[in-house]
Amino acid sequence: MAAPGCVLHRALMRSRPGPNKVSSSSPVVCREFLFVVDLQRYSRDQGSSVYFPQAVLSGEDLYDITLTDGDCRLRVTLDPGLNRQVERNVLQPGSMVRNTSFSPTMAAQLPECPGASTERDSYRLLKLEVVTEAEEGGARGPDLDWDSLPWFGSSEPAAGPVVPLRASRSVFLPLWNNVDYSGDVWRETPPPDGGVEDEEEEEEEEEGRRPAVSVSELRDSFLSGRGGVARGTIQHQLIVRIVNKSHLMYYGRTDRNCECPYKAVLEVCDQTGSVCVVLWNSMCVSWYRCLRPGDIISLRQYRVKPQYHGERGDMEVSVNSRNPAARVSVLPESSVPPERRPPAPAYSFYSSKELLDCRHGAMCDVIGLLTFSGRPERIRSKDGKGAELLEYRWLRLEDGASDQPIMVKLFSTSQPEVHEKLHPLAVVVCTRLRCVRAASCFFLTNSVYTQVYCTGLSQHSEMSYRRLRPVRQFLQWLRRQDDEEVLSRALIGGFFMYPPPPVSMETYMKDRRGEPGFLRGAELQREVERLCYRERHTFCIQATVTMVTYSRRGEEDRSLFWADRASSLSSSSRSPRPSPSPSLPSTPRSFRPALSSSSSSSSVSPMSPSSSVSQSAPRPLDHRPGRSSKRKLLPPETPKKRHPSVTMQQEQSNKTVILFEASMEFLENTNVDVDADDDDDDDEDVSSFVTAPLLPILPPVAEETLPMLYDHGHKEEQAAAIAMGGTAPPGRFESAVQGYYTLRLRALSDGVAVDAIFLPHYLSSSPSPLPPHSNTWASILSHGAFSSHTPPPSPADLIAMAAQLTNQRLVCLLEVCHLGGATTEVVLSRAFHLTDL
């Protein structure tokens, strides 16, 4: 019981009726700070709508939230109208909130589900205000063990696992996907087998495990209809080996009540054949984490049914916790007689060289050294519904067989503890991947049965593939590698795009089957507003470039920029007149250009042409129409501008290389004097640019956009920073890319301004080689990168050439990813001249 003086007690006691009074349903407001301890997601069911009579239930998800005032805890349900705060990662565990509005819920409305109580305080959270870091003013959550705090009133969950408050579900979903498991209820060890006859088990142990029925016998009986195989429960023991294991499949629906709507498929075999075993519902909770490919299992009290997927007319073995309650056990290898022992799983390992000739759609296994681990992102499912968000990340593996790395687009595999360990310098094995061939490159991605194994979890030593020849050859190559050399190219997180888009408008149009899908500026804004946290999408607009800036991370006050003066003056001359485009609402917070370091990586602002110029156009030096202005921005006290550097990480100064072995000391590269450039060249740059008192108002690049140099000494911290829901403190880790360009695009359709990050030097190192080009603005934009066959132009030279973009109509491909809160990343991947059509 909470102390009477605590914040929640004072606020919520006002909602309780006094003696001989009817309970009030009026909301109560707590204006003081509260802290979010936990957020739990689940899908609603048939009865969920009764708890939200005034709400429009447009989505499938509900959220239970645990709050604390530092004295007690309270678990409530988030009103569906606030779901968007979670979906865009504004409201998250650790958030500070205030002005929270609670509505008491009658006890009779509590759901009938395991663990629910009919005599407890229940509330619905109607409104809240998330406090930003700037508004916190030093207020922080108390440094307490949240689990030790008492629950408010009678809101303590009933004994047993915590269950959802507003649906008849027994498990929660992960916050960001439907494939992984979530919560301690998912067992890591087999459950106790309480229904086993002791005498029968003792006899089997003495005689050795011998199956009473084989897969082929089951199939023959099923196809012929003998022995009631197709109708009843099979008591005969079936001993099989797991060959492949699928990811978890969630099939919960809002129009059906099912406590644990999960299934998983195991491909198993014995010496007579193979069959699919389907784990249903709570059997997944009890057994999914315990079983792995290569295990020998015993099955009893199961059903044989027609196979739902696969060959027509075949069968599958159904394993459920009721009707009947199946009996499953994992058998030691030695307990099964050799003549009855199922064959070991077969692997098909491909090296990077062999993958070059791998056909589209082929299944393969790979092993490699991880040198790039991308940030987790999400895309919409292409199953026709488009509602589910699929989480994925890019991996780059090297195996020494060729210069071509192995690129893997890895979706969730129901192995969250393994995915957390996917940081550079890990040895990774991916099984049952599918080869995808694009126009000029290929990559590997998931099948239903993909599994991932990596160092750090003692998995490799337990798997049978460790004795295979391709694995031993890889290990021999690995032992010859130098830690420092591998670390010099190891990256983690940041924007990444693969395969690269086409380099010509004609090819792009062919890939889109003649439908480029151009958006107006206002339409682009609406589409970006719909994105959820870490959701990635490609958009296409027609635009002109009105400004180009070059900045270095953390030094945005020392920038190079070019602005199209003709565009600025023409816009200014139009400013007194009404805009021809439709009236747009005020700029949403997520698109408003900010001046602080917490602002977005780029902005999508529905600004009119005149307001765009008045806010962000630099002061002109030459007021003659039709002239372009070029500025170099210097602090007044700087006597000489340092030549900006765009070199990659091997050439940057003060780089620290961490050896793979923890016992090795840090190595520090010698300083590179970036001021030691040729004086004549520097003088030529200064002659083209002058000091300007005004800076373009552009948001700095987001921490999540630029890839980080891998820091082995802080690998867990880096992995947590790029994980879903994680953030990297500004400047905490060293970026592999220091400089970046920002292009201000003006939509031809309605004049909406879009600020997009452009990374030609980073994309030049793409695993897929690009054809050579002339390094003009037109060729750089169409290829998305500098030519790798000639030295790239310096930032000063490229800004000096930006006048080539004046009045050029472009088709721009934008890679947009919502990074949470008010931060949206917009990266320009390609821009084609309309004359290329």
- More confident call, 289 vs 834: 289
- pLDDT band (50, 70, 90) for residue 225: confident
User: What's residue 9's pLDDT?
Assistant: 85
Q: Write down the mean pLDDT value for the chain.
A: 79
Query: pLDDT tens digit string along 611-632?
Result: 232 233 333 334 344 444 444 4
pLDDT for 556:
83
- 327 DSSP β-pair partners: 300
Least confident of 102-106, 290-294, 719-723: 102-106
So what's the pLDDT on residue 686?
Answer: 34
Q: Is the pLDDT of residue 522 over 70?
A: yes
In the three-class reduction of DSSP (H, G, I as helix; E, B as strand; rest coil), residue 613 is classed as helix
Count of H helices and E strands in the chain? 19, 33
Rounded CA separation 377/534 (Å): 5
Mean pLDDT of 321-348: 92
Domains along the chain with CATH numbers: 26-148 (2.40.50.140), 212-340 (2.40.50.140), 352-492 (2.40.50.140), 505-564+703-833 (no CATH)
Whether the pLDDT of residue 351 is over 50: the answer is yes
Q: Which of 4-13, 308-317, 692-701, 769-778 has the lowest mean pLDDT?
A: 692-701
CA–CA distance, 429 with 413 (Å, rounded to integer): 13
Using alpha carbons, select from 459, 449, 373, 453 the residue that is nearest to residue 409.
Answer: 373
Taking CA 473 as the corner, what is the angle to CA 333 and CA 663, rounded to the nearest 5 degrees? Answer: 90
CA-CA distance, 351 to 406, in Å (whole number)?
9
CA separation for the pair 749, 769 (Å, rounded): 34
3-state secondary structure of 598: coil
Q: The whole model's pTM is what?
A: 0.83
Average pLDDT over residues 29-39: 94
The pLDDT-based confidence of 705 (bands split at 50, 70, 90) is very high
Q: Residue 284 is inside which H or E element, if any?
A: helix 282-287
Pairing of strands 406-411, 389-398: antiparallel
Q: Which of 151-165, 186-200, 213-227, 448-462 has the highest mean pLDDT?
A: 448-462
| pLDDT for the residue numbered 257 | 87
Q: Does the pLDDT of residue 767 top 60, yes or no?
A: yes
CB-neighbour burial class of residue 1 (10 A; exposed 0-12, middle 13-18, buried 19+): exposed
Q: Within its chain, how far is the Cα of 218 from the centroid?
A: 43
Better-scored residue on pLDDT, 215 or 730: 215
Strand pairing of 34-43 and 73-78?
Answer: unpaired
Structure confidence by residue, pLDDT tens digits, 359-400: 999 999 999 999 999 999 999 987 645 578 999 999 999 999
Higher pLDDT, 193 or 622: 193
Structure confidence by residue, pLDDT tens digits, 105-147: 754 334 444 444 444 568 999 999 999 876 765 555 556 778 8
* Averaged pLDDT for residues 527-542: 96
pLDDT at 195 over 80: no
| Position with higher pLDDT, 470 vs 104 | 470
Using CA atoms, how far apart are residues 635 and 693, in angstroms rounded to an integer? 9
Confidence tier at 209 by pLDDT (50, 70, 90) = low
Distance CA 808, CA 355 (A): 42
Is the pLDDT higher at 296 or at 25? Answer: 296
Q: Has residue 207 got a pLDDT over 90?
A: no
Q: Mean pLDDT throughout 533-560?
A: 93
| 8 Å CB contact between 659 and 484 | yes
The predicted structure's pLDDT at residue 227: 59
Q: Following DSSP, what letter does each residue of 87-98 receive, concatenated?
A: HTTSS-TT-EEE
494, 723 Cβ separation under 8 angstroms: no
pLDDT band at 770 (very low <50, low <70, confident <90, very high): confident
Predicted confidence (pLDDT) at residue 655 exceeds the cutoff of 80: no
Q: What region, left, alpha or beta, does residue 821 occupy, with left being phi > 0 and alpha being psi -120 to 50 degrees? A: left
The single-letter code of the amino acid at 505 is M
Dihedral angle of Cα 740, 743, 744, 746, to the nearest 10 degrees: -160
CB neighbours of residue 555 within 10 Å: 13
Q: What pLDDT, on the 0 to 100 scale, is given for residue 23?
A: 54
Window from 249-258, 348-357, 362-371, 567-576 with minimum mean pLDDT: 567-576
Convert the pLDDT of each residue in 793-831 to its tens digit: 999 999 999 999 999 999 999 999 999 999 999 999 999
Q: What is the pLDDT of residue 153?
A: 73
* pLDDT confidence of residue 106: 53
pLDDT at 591 over 80: no
**Host H or E run for residue 741:** strand 739-747
Q: What's the DSSP call for residue 577?
A: S
pLDDT band for position 516 (cuts 50, 70, 90)? low
pLDDT reported for residue 772? 86
Longest dimension (CA), the chain: 100
Long-range contacts of 381-384 (CB under 8 A, 24+ apart): none
Amino acid present at 405 = P
Q: Helices in 531-627 by DSSP H: which ranges?
A: 565-574, 609-616
499 cis-preceded (ω within 30 degrees of 0): yes
Give the separation between CA 650 and CA 657, rounded to whole angstroms.
10
pLDDT over threshold 90, residue 667: no
- CA atoms of 64 and 78, how far apart (whole Å): 6
Q: Parallel, antiparallel, or unpaired for β 739-747 and 753-758? A: antiparallel
Residue 86: the pLDDT is 97
Percent of the residues in the chain that have a pLDDT greater than 70, as a whole number: 73
C-alpha span between 63 and 17 (Å, rounded): 27
Cα 648 to the chain's mean position, in Å? 26
**Is 50 exceeded by the pLDDT of residue 307?**
yes
Residue 577 has pLDDT above 70, yes or no: no
Report the range out of 507-516, 551-560, 630-639 with the highest average pLDDT.
Answer: 551-560
pLDDT of residue 161: 84
Task: Give the rounded percent of residues in the chain with a pLDDT score beyond 90.
Answer: 54
